[in-house]
Amino acid sequence: MAALLNWFSLLALCAHTVTIALARPPRATVLRWAGAASAAVTGALPLILVSGQQSQQVAWIPPISRSTLLGLSLTLLVGALCAWAARRGLHPPKSTRLPLTALTLPLLALPPLLLLAASLARPIYLDRYVLFTHLGLALLIGAACQTLALRLRTHMPPYRTTAVLITLAFLGLLPFQLSLRGATGRIDDVVSTAENAAAVRRAGDAVLFIPAARRDTALVSPTAFTGTKGRRCCTALWNPAP
């Protein structure tokens, strides 16, 4: 199901392959996993082939930039720091042989790195395409918080420990929440752009997309641009005023 919603999620199978290799489960388990993975790829294959014929819809994606590399590097660094902070709590119970890092670190790192490598040939990397990898980061943050809570418990009551962790989480996420919910939090709102164009268009108007590759608005809402061609030029801004 995840592959049908976002077939880039199949990159998680590469991370799971590393986890399987580290776990060294019985041959029967490996065969069952391989069968399930093959079924997922086969089921999503028609979608992959059809979407490959619509590659112009992602032609606007810019090449890899320093900010992209910096953002990914910071995410991986946070994951590594959380793994280090929770290293004492990441050891598996006696009934298992697999530490948490064998699952979380490959899931966090491999899919975005593979998509980044593919973008060297053709730009296709966007952080939201591999947002599912943050499941690994969430597990690592949870493990680090658990370790912190166990250490704080020796110095303060449990309810104070909970209050401290909630406060730290709130303060850490507050800047991101403010940026996402602000006027500039959705600069690629194609529906809003289409509504603006439909409100001012007149028969025979021309629409200028800046840059030319950003034609997502017309692809998503083609009726908003019906009859716009020819004489008078009206510019459809990609970043509309709030």
Q: Report yes or no on whether pTM surpasses 0.75.
A: no
Whether residue 76 lies inside any domain: the answer is: yes
pLDDT 10s per residue in the chain (242 long)? 777 788 888 888 999 999 998 888 888 988 998 998 898 888 888 888 887 777 777 777 888 888 888 888 888 998 898 888 877 656 555 555 678 888 899 999 999 999 999 888 888 888 888 888 988 988 888 888 888 777 766 666 667 767 776 777 777 677 667 766 765 666 667 777 778 778 887 777 777 776 665 666 777 777 777 777 533 334 444 444 43
* Contact criterion met (CB below 8 Å) for 9 and 41: no
Q: Where are the alpha helices (DSSP H) in 53-183?
A: 66-85, 101-118, 134-153, 158-181
Q: How many domains does the chain have?
A: 2
- Give the domain extent around 204: 190-237
> Is the same domain home to 161 and 203?
no
Return the number of other C-beta atoms located less than 10 Å from residue 140's C-beta: 28
Do residues 157 and 222 share a domain? no
**Is 157 inside any structural domain?**
yes
Tokens of 183: 């006027």
16 lies in the same domain as 113: yes
**What is the SS3 assignment for 151?**
helix
How many CA atoms are closer than 13 Å to the CA of 158, on its beta-carbon side? 1
User: Which of residues 181, 208, 226 is at a domain's end?
Assistant: 181
